[in-house]
């Protein structure tokens, strides 16, 4: 399994899951994108740090970072290592005070909230990226109406391109999943 480095390129409110957010990660080499639906708390924790906002009291992820530092460890990297039933699985890869590497299993959203605080790289295994990536297609868009179940593969691919152009990554994820099921 090969690791591909990704970066956060967007964080938006979720249209399909009210109260949640869509976090978009992009592969630095091939420019493939994946969308992770995260909770409001994790989205807030990521956004606050990325916007360099100062809060009067630390958030949970800030406390966890302080704890890791106080124990003499550091966060080397985050690896999104699997996707099961649409849920991304992640590891925090820590380097302990005695220079041992430890992998801690966690939700991808928490791992990303810590990654931005430690300014460490985030990786996705290639098979996860391939499975979850939203890839643009070359088909020209036409306007379609009706149930997605009635669309041909070509129509779905055109629709996929349109929603990607609008940066509607949640819809793109659903369309991509329908295309995969039909192939």
Of 155 and 2, the one with more pLDDT: 2
Work out the average pLDDT over 18-41.
Answer: 90
Tokens encoding 54: 């100062």
Of 154 and 105, the one with more pLDDT: 105
**Comparing 27-41, 55-69, 167-181, which segment has the lowest mean pLDDT?**
167-181
DSSP assigned state of 150: G
DSSP assigned state of 57: S
Q: What is the pLDDT of residue 140?
A: 30
DSSP assigned state of 134: B
**pLDDT exceeds cutoff 70 at 4:** yes
Would you say 24 and 168 are in contact if contact means Cβ atoms under 8 Å apart? no
Tell me the residue length of the chain.
Answer: 183
Please choose, from the candidates 175, 137, 133, 135, the residue with its C-alpha nearest in 3D space to the C-alpha of residue 34: 133
Would you say 25 and 8 are in contact if contact means Cβ atoms under 8 Å apart? yes
Query: Which ranges of the chain does DSSP label H, i.e. alpha helix?
Result: 40-50, 60-70, 108-118, 126-132, 153-165, 169-182
| HSE (side-chain half, CA atoms, 13 Å) at 112 | 33
Q: What is the largest CA-CA distance in the chain?
A: 60
For residue range 99-141, list pLDDT tens digits in order.
999 999 999 999 999 999 999 999 999 999 999 987 543 333 3
In this structure, is the dihedral angle defined by the CA atoms of residues 156, 157, 162 and 167, taken in order, positive or negative? positive
Q: What is the pLDDT of residue 44?
A: 92
Q: What is the pLDDT of residue 161?
A: 81
């Amino acid at each position: 399994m090969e690791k591909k480095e990704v970066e956060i390129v967007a964080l938006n409110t979720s249209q399909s899951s009210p109260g949640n957010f869509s976090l978009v990660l992009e592969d630095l080499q091939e420019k493939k994108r994946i969308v992770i639906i995260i909770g409001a708390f994790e989205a807030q924790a990521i956004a606050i740090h990325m916007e360099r906002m100062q809060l009067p009291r630390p958030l949970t992820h800030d406390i966890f970072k302080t704890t890791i530092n106080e124990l003499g460890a550091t966060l080397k990297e985050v690896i999104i290592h699997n996707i099961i039933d649409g849920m991304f699985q992640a590891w925090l890869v820590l380097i302990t005070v005695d220079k041992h590497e430890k992998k801690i299993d966690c939700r991808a959203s928490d791992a990303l909230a810590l990654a931005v605080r430690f300014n460490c790289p985030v990786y996705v295994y290639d098979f996860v990226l391939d499975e979850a990536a939203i890839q643009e297609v070359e088909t020209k868009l036409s306007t379609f109406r009706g149930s997605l179940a009635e669309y041909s593969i070509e129509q779905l691919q055109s629709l996929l391109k349109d929603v990607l152009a609008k940066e509607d990554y949640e819809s793109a994820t659903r369309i991509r999943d329908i295309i995969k099921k039909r192939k």
